[in-house]
Structure 1
Amino acid sequence: MEEKRYRHEYKYPLTHGQALIENAKINAVASRDSHTGADGSYQIRSLYFDDYQNSCYMSNENGVDEREKFRIRIYNHSTERITLECKEKYRGMTHKSSSPITLSQCEKLMRGEIPSDITKEQRVLHRLAYLMAVRLMRPAVIVEYERIPYVYRMQDANVRVTFDRKILSGSDVRAFLDERIAGRGILPVGTELMEVKFDSFLPDEIYQILQLEGLKASTFSKYYLCRKFQVRQKR
């Protein structure tokens, strides 16, 4: 079995002014992700799962270090590429594994049904299917946002810096594949989220860019904030 490689991941909530400064500095040393559109961004929409005890949400709220989250992800409203991902956190670091899924499998998962045509290569789907059977894991919330991604690669450095904005929380999981979803913003207007992900070390060039007055790393979780209002409404 392939050894899991965990990455460092730091998150920084930014004001509009901070986002403009950081974006300009990163743009000078890093390249835009090749999958972006003409404006340098793309839209991400994810459908997150949780069990009957809201274990994923509660683990996040309580700061449990070893945890995992499952999500289906699409880009720019397209169903050409649908991916099921499992994001694990261990000792403050993260690991992401994924399996491509078909449109039919996605639609079944959206209804809370376990697909009957899972292949042996779809390991993440096997794991989710098991949890759907024993933990009643079901679709819980849609998280949608616009992302500006940068990639920095030099020698042994592998760094990814992203700026996320217009983050929406959607409760109608049946609308996941719709062109538009009804949702509510989870950040104050003008606020963005910068994420910095890297493997073994952060190059000095990138480290210096992050030295901006008022800039502090956060345990910010888009999933957690999107579910927070939803869960508390049901209590």
Structure 2
Amino acid sequence: MSAVITRAPHPQVTTGARRAFVEQVMGLPVSVHVRGDVERPELLTAVQQVWGVLHRVDAVFSTWRTDSELMRRRRGELAPELAHPWLSEVDRLCLEAEQRTGGLFSAAFDGAHHDPTGLVKGWAVERAARHLRHVPGISWCVNAGGDLLAGAGRDAAPSQWLIGVEDPRAQGAVVATVALRSGGLATSGAAARGAHVVDPRSGVAIDRDGSATVWGPSLLWADVWATALYVDPPVGAAALEGADPAYRSLVL
């Protein structure tokens, strides 16, 4: 994990006006951290709806499940008009991401297969977190394997979450903190998962240390830009400044 919520409560334990829930989904631990009126019955319903959306996303987009709609479409077993509409929505977003980043982010895979999963996590968390926005009197932060989305429920002001950015060269060491009230933060690098990020310009996996963290209004776009800055820090930084100046970055 490359970003953590500092001073977070223990999972599934209420401590004063804080509560957290954890689910293993999409191949990673996802946690929902809540402050405020944490005993509202609507909160438990909303959290279950969050898990439901994420499990459905996994069924549609997983590259590890042979029965996912993405893999069935790759094999030609699922006609586009019969596929879940999420697939076409994400396809459009991937094209937009490639254009915004000047080609530093791409859904191309091995030059032949379409792989949108580099964008899906941020998109999925934003979609799932819509259910939390309807719960009155709370602020919340969703942590999906180190990528985070913060916001507030109905008639509530977002509170501040302190996010620790881990040193990619020293596991467990925090090198910076980011105060996040609303929006997303994402980190890209090889420290946790190895050389899984591919430079779309060469088709070669990037095998170097370091990381790129981006935060701003949307987790989806923070995630896209974190990938672009890790692929090529100077070119990515220039593209980010020109296309999305509302976002901030930290390249280590």
TM-score of the aligned structures, taking structure 2 as reference length:
0.32
TM-score of the aligned structures, taking structure 1 as reference length:
0.33
Highest relative contact order (Cα 8 Å, sep 6+), 1 or 2? 1
Q: Hey, which of these two has a bigger chunk of helix by percent?
A: 2
